[in-house]
Structure 1
Amino acid sequence: MSPHAETIADWLLSGLELKSTIFHVGQYCGAWQASTAGRHRASFHLALHGECWLHLPANAERAAQSLRLAPGDAVFLLHDMPHCLSPDPRPPASGHESERIGTMSPLTSPADALAPADGSVGIACGFFEFNSGLDDMLLSLLPDHIVARRDNPSLDGARAIFDLIRAEALRDVQTPSPLIARLTDLLFVYVLRAVAGRDEIAPCFWSLMRRPEFAPLVAAIIEAPAERWTTDTMASFVHMSRARFCKQFVDISGQPPAQFVTLVRMKMAAAMLRGGSSMPDAAERVGYQSESAFAQAFKRVTGVQPGAYRRRAVKSPEKQAPAAINRPVAALH
């Protein structure tokens, strides 16, 4: 990953404010089908042992996919979306992609993780909770799903993390270790590296990281959001005409450059407001001379006025914790 991409990965992760992860760990045998769809949360699946297939139905942006998962592979679904895991390379019938079939049993440690003698498949599943008020827009900068392969050279460090996750999962097969949540947070950092290196990703913000003319611009905007980043100044930064710059930025990232600049500014402003800064100070630090214009932009991005956001952020953690974090999750079978 380039230095620019490292800077941007850190910026993105700090904005997502991962709050909690809820896990279900175990294994399947025989005919089965598992899914975390329909719960209105981002989710992930880790293949602990054995092999299975991830099935994704077609949507407006891509064709249907069936992807083989080997031990050590990780799938991050950054939006709630129809999908399933199964031992069958053939996808389920249309409309049945998110059904759950079979029963998950306690995890075991097979002698051969690549091809267990009993044909079992070990899986760790979880849900991401975000608490930033900006998560929808920040997640829109990424593909809807990411598959991180254990054998990906850019994920060397992730292999050690995965081994720790698997070891923690086997310590108590009845109650997943809370350390799995922290380790998976770290694994997500490495997953962003996998995104930056993918050739086949659909148009999204991370596609810009593969273009040497755009990565320095994105890093510069993140590092100095208060600068006067007009379309003309951004085009000049990358030595392009205004028309060519706008077309390429939209084609590659899927959104206009002005929208990205606004998101960067509102992310910084939100962090300042959570830290106790006043609205005038936050507005000035992100390049707004008019508090009214700042308030309108902030509400457009976050859905709330900056004053209300600040008041909510300074409440005690107990008062502002999302209720969903404390709700039990049904078994994924």
Structure 2
Amino acid sequence: MPSHADAFADWLFEDLELNSTLFHVGQYCGVWQASTSGHRRASFHVVLHGHCWLHLPAAATRPARSAALAAGDAVFLLTDQPHCLSPDPQPPAAGRESGRSGQMRPLDAPGHEAPDSLGLACGFFEFKSGLDDLVLGLLPDHVIARRDQPTQIGARQIFELIRAEAQLDPHAPSSLIARLTSILFIYTLRALDSNDELSPCFWALLRRPAFVPLIAAIVATPGERWTTASMADFVHMSRARFCKLFAELAGQPPAQFVTLVRMKFAASMLSTGASTPDTAEQVGYQSESAFAQAFKRVTGLQPGAWRRTAGESARGALH
């Protein structure tokens, strides 16, 4: 039976297209520091061989962090944030967290890697749906996929394919690496409910049995009148305790989560040609104008514009 994280990962990525691009692939030796920050895009690092450290300075929802990485581990940074990878377990000085030093060179042949070298594939990804803010609002700011996690058996197979592709031609990295990394990311999300390193986000709620039925109910019936009071009653908590615990776990208030779920449901309806009034009613809005304002705030488009864009994309795919 799929885990709660499996089911919610499938729901979250339904109708979404994840697009990854490869930045570079190769290896570092000696003293070096690598980073993909500063490009205003979400990014990833996949460790092909060797060991290194990920350094993240403190952020609003978490303290500074340094994490050891080994071959088969992957890091997904869901926002453009200061960070670096280096062979040093000590983080760089303040203000230098995103610095780059050393030179990446082509990968050595398998089995012939230098003892102090690190093989790395790095790139960027985005959600090609206009729902970036919605998706990112439900996820932590970074995720580390560990090769040795029991839930990552499928991910280990994807990693082996990435490593094989990386070794094909050191001068012309395979574009397939980016596509394989997109698949690896989905496996990573499915392992979030067992990830002890998870920062506050939607997935943290799935670890609390009291919240799982509520989350399932909101996703199944977004048009219900989900007020703070009704949600607190659903989980048999006082309103104050419910709001405090929800925000601590999810990193956002419950009302914001309900809005995100509703807008995702609405986007799916509009993409299939549903009218704005029907969509508004299905996601719990009595006022069409209030729905349109909320939808634009999340997606950047008015409902009608979203519907037209989806229709144009569908017609273009047929030609």
Q: TM-score, normalised by structure 2?
A: 0.91
Give the letter for the 1:203 counterpart: P
Give unpaired runs (5+ residues) of structure 1: 321-333
Which residue number in structure 1 is paired with residue 75 of structure 2? 75
Structure 2 distance, partners of 1:100, 1:170, is 24
Distance 1:287 1:191 in 2: 32
- Listed as ranges, the matches of 1:142-161 within 5 Å are 142-161=139-158
Give the letter aligned to residue 93 of structure 2: A
**Distance in structure 1 (CA, Å) of the matches to 2:312 and 2:53:** 44
Distance 1:25 1:220 in 2: 43
Specify the alignment match of 2:164 in structure 1. 167
Whole-angstrom distance in 2 between the partners of 1:317 and 1:104: 41
Hey, what's the Cα distance between the residues in 1 that align with 2:173 and 2:139? 29
Conservation of the 8 A alpha-carbon contact between 1:5 and 1:215:
no
Q: 1:316 Cα deviation (Å)?
A: 4.1
Question: CA deviation digits over 1:197-230, x for unaligned, max 9?
Answer: 1234332211101001101211221122122322
Q: 2:44 aligns to what SS in structure 1?
A: strand
Counterpart secondary structure, 1:85:
strand
Q: Report the secondary structure of 2:43's partner residue.
A: strand
Q: Quick check: 1:120 aligned with 2:117? A: yes
The residue aligned with 1:58 is 58
CA contact (8 A) 1:295 1:306 kept: yes
Aligned AA (1:60): A
Return the alpha-carbon distance in structure 2 between the equivalents of residues 210 and 2 of structure 1: 15
Q: Secondary structure at the match of 1:171?
A: coil
Contact 2:141–2:199 (Cα < 8 Å) also in 1: no
| Alpha-carbon offset, residue 25 of structure 1 | 0.9
Give the distance between the partners of 1:221 and 1:268, measured in 2 at CA.
Answer: 11
2:291 matched to 1:294? yes
Question: How many angstroms apart in 1 are the aligned matches of 2:315 and 2:104?
Answer: 33
- Residue of structure 1 equivalent to 2:249: 252
Write out aligned runs for 1:36-55 (5 A).
Answer: 36-55=36-55
The correspondence for 2:264, drawn from 264, 267, 277, is 267
1:259-288 deviation line (CA, Å, top 9, x unaligned): 111111111111222222221222222222
Q: Report what 1:330 is aligned to.
A: none
Change (3 A) 1:208 1:95: same
Q: Does the CA contact (< 8 Å) of 1:15 and 1:138 recur in 2?
A: no
Q: Give the superposition deviation at 1:308.
A: 2.1
Matched, 1:228 2:239: no
* Unaligned stretches of 5+ residues in structure 2: none
For the 8 Å contact 2:19–2:182, the answer to whether it is kept is: no
Task: Say yes or no: does 1:180 pair with 2:158.
Answer: no
The residue correspondences of 1:5-44 to structure 2 (distance < 5 A) are: 5-14=5-14, 17-44=17-44
Q: Per-residue CA shift, 1:24-49, capped at 9, x if unaligned?
A: 11111122111100000000000001
Code of the aligned partner of 2:37: A
The offset of 1:145, in angstroms, is 0.9
Counterpart code for 2:171: Q
Question: Contact 2:45–2:123 at 8 Å: present in 1 too?
Answer: yes
Output the amino acid matched with 2:259. T
Conserved 8 A contact 1:23-1:176: no
Distance 1:88 1:319, change over 3 A: farther
**1:197 is aligned to 2:194:** yes
Counterpart-to-counterpart distance in 1, 2:192 and 2:6 = 12
1:136 equivalenced with 2:124 (yes/no) = no
1:303 has 2:303 as partner: no
**How many angstroms does 1:15 deviate by?**
6.1
Letter in 1 for 2:138: L
- Structure 1 residues 63 and 230: alpha-carbon distance in aligned structure 2, compared to 1, 3 A threshold: closer
Residues 110-168 of structure 1: CA distance to partner in whole angstroms, max 9, x if unpaired? 427xxx44422110001002222221232122221111111111212211111111111
Aligned partner of 2:211: which letter?
F
- Quote how far apart the aligned CAs of 1:52 are: 1.2
Q: Give TM-score, length-normalised by structure 1.
A: 0.88
2:211 corresponds to: 214
How far does the alpha carbon of each residue in 1:239-260 deviate from its partner, in whole angstroms, 9 at most, with x for none? 2233332222122212221211
Moved more, 247-256 or 78-87: 247-256
Matched positions, count: 317
| CA distance in structure 1 between the aligned counterparts of 2:24 and 2:114, rounded to whole angstroms | 23
Letter in 1 for 2:218: I
SS of 1:314's equivalent in the other structure is helix
Q: Which of 235, 238, 261 does residue 235 from structure 2 map onto? A: 238
Q: 3-state SS of the aligned residue for 1:315?
A: helix
Deviations 1:82-130 (A, max 9, x none): 1111122222222112121122111223427xxx444221100010022
* Pairwise CA RMSD: 2.3
* Secondary structure at the counterpart of residue 48 of structure 1: strand
C-alpha displacement at 1:81, in angstroms? 0.7
Answer with 3-12 or 147-156: which moved more: 3-12
